Structure 1
């Protein structure tokens, strides 16, 4: 396999992305026979088929998936090398493909804006998605850095802590529990609890909080797939909810939501910047990580402004 070329690897990437040789050829600026030849040469070199030819288009085989992963890794390394050379030349530029889980979208734009003030020549391409999708794109080298609460364990990653992540129970201001202090978790199970979908970090934290009462939690809970939907449901009086404090700053300030004073809450998790461990970080990426360590926490909503006890003392 020492004779593999970048053109061959990029042909595999393009076919995987578009599903047909004709579409891949258009993207690459080549003829369809030329792309077919690239794939044929690779398959002869590898000794295995890289694609299954189906009526619905070209589908990667197991070997093809392995080749695609290598192609993505090489492409990422080449881009990092280009940025590194620019850095040696004194050019403070580059591109960062940044992914954030949906909960982080409430502070990520503010954080990015502050970073770009210090590094105006760096371009940040933002991708927001659920935890499953962000991890998949990080694994496939489509993202350079991902902001999330629980680093993945499926593949080796480097995780850099940059701020605390409190999780709280919220209610409509007219709810009967508003004003009570030290609410027991057993009391919460008497209410309808609106929770995120399976696989989300928020859902995992809530299940850990209720421990041995997961059956009762399942009975008491209603699942919704986004923080915005959950907030609207709580404001409509459909129940209480467990949610990131970083998603509700505006609604609490406008007195549309209240954080309940629950015993043993807030649950404090952490925010991490996560990247693949074997990647060579480009200068732009290194600058962003350093920025997160030094200033990232300053761009997170302050829990003291949201939590009942502190709010009462401030008022």
Structure 2
């Protein structure tokens, strides 16, 4: 079996990956600019080398079998290695100072660009790619070796990662400046029981933290509206549509400008952390390693400073 696997080609693996992504041979053929018989031949040859079924038909299209998933993982590692090699060759020939691929969850967009800007001034020849997506997409990109580094608050436990602390990530309750509780101190969850909360949809990290906070008092927050982004929530709070439990880093500017306030609530802010992570078996080229070292040493400096109260 080992000998046969050494005959596997990148064309065969790309055919398998394309079918898995598109759910059909037709979709794979379109993506690869090949005919359907050509894709089918690649898959047949690959399956003969492995001696195991690689795909199965379902009501939602063709999906990978366990053996197919193993080969898909191999494909991802090979593609990552090819990209790393291309970067190394570009560095050798002087075409670039190196490429770095960074992913960050959406809340991190309030500080990560500033950190990258500072790094770029120290290393002007480097080509840096920044992708802002949700936590699930970051997880998939890490698993598939697509990212050198990722910046997030909750590293996925099912992936072996090297994890480095950047700094604290506080969460607060914000309200419009004229809110009835604006001047109150030592509030509790009970005092907020009748307030309308503007919130992200269930499944978001911030929503989960908010629900945990209320659970400690055996309460549930009243959700007035669910919104798709922190930016929309901020504007809705300023407009007086409700209050919100949110990352203090997303509202630092508005708080400093006096466009909204934080409520003085016992137990808040809730402090989480920011981390920069990389997949353990992802080989970092010198540019990415330099970025990692920079973020570990200096990342905390770029975290937004919001005027919030102390935990009581």
The normalised TM-score by structure 2 is 0.85
Give the CA deviation at 1:308.
5.6
User: What are the ranges of 5 or more consecutive residues in structure 1 without an aligned counterpart?
Assistant: 310-315
Give the CA deviation at 1:282.
2.2
2:192 aligned with 1:188: yes
Give the CA deviation at 1:120.
2.4
Give the CA deviation at 1:184.
2.1
**Which of 69, 87, 105 is residue 101 of structure 1 equivalent to?**
105
Give the CA deviation at 1:247.
0.6
**Which of 111, 121, 128 is residue 132 of structure 2 equivalent to?**
128
2:308 aligned with 1:307: yes
Whole-angstrom CA distance in 2 between matches of 1:141 and 1:76: 6
Whole-angstrom CA distance in 2 between matches of 1:89 and 1:160: 32
**Which of 287, 293, 303 is residue 284 of structure 1 equivalent to?**
287
Deviation readout 1:172-199 (Å, 9 max, x if unpaired):
0010111222222321223222333333
Give the CA deviation at 1:30.
5.6
**Residue aligning to 2:153:** 149
**Residue aligning to 1:275:** 278
**Residue aligning to 1:165:** 169
Name whichever of 105-114 and 44-53 sits farther off. Answer: 44-53
Work out whether residues 144 and 275 of structure 1, in 8 Å CA contact, stay in contact via their aligned partners in 2: yes
Work out whether residues 134 and 146 of structure 1, in 8 Å CA contact, stay in contact via their aligned partners in 2: yes
Work out whether residues 77 and 279 of structure 1, in 8 Å CA contact, stay in contact via their aligned partners in 2: no
Aligned ranges for residues 157-306 of structure 1 at < 5 Å? 157-214=161-218, 216-219=219-222, 222-303=225-306, 306=307
Give the CA deviation at 1:117.
1.9
Whole-angstrom CA distance in 2 between matches of 1:23 and 1:223: 35
**Residue aligning to 2:6:** 2
Give the alignment's Cα RMSD to 1 decimal: 2.8
Work out whether residues 15 and 23 of structure 1, in 8 Å CA contact, stay in contact via their aligned partners in 2: yes
Give the CA deviation at 1:3.
2.1
Give the CA deviation at 1:268.
1.3
In the alignment of these two chains, the number of paired residues is 306
User: What are the ranges of 5 or more consecutive residues in structure 2 without an aligned counterpart?
Assistant: none
Work out whether residues 197 and 242 of structure 2, in 8 Å CA contact, stay in contact via their aligned partners in 1: yes
Give the CA deviation at 1:44.
0.7
Work out whether residues 171 and 257 of structure 1, in 8 Å CA contact, stay in contact via their aligned partners in 2: yes
Whole-angstrom CA distance in 1 between matches of 2:163 and 2:226: 29
The SS at the match of 2:158 is: coil
Name whichever of 145-154 and 118-127 sits farther off. Answer: 118-127
Name whichever of 77-86 and 200-209 sits farther off. Answer: 77-86
The SS at the match of 1:79 is: helix
Give the CA deviation at 1:54.
7.7
Whole-angstrom CA distance in 2 between matches of 1:111 and 1:24: 39
The SS at the match of 1:213 is: coil
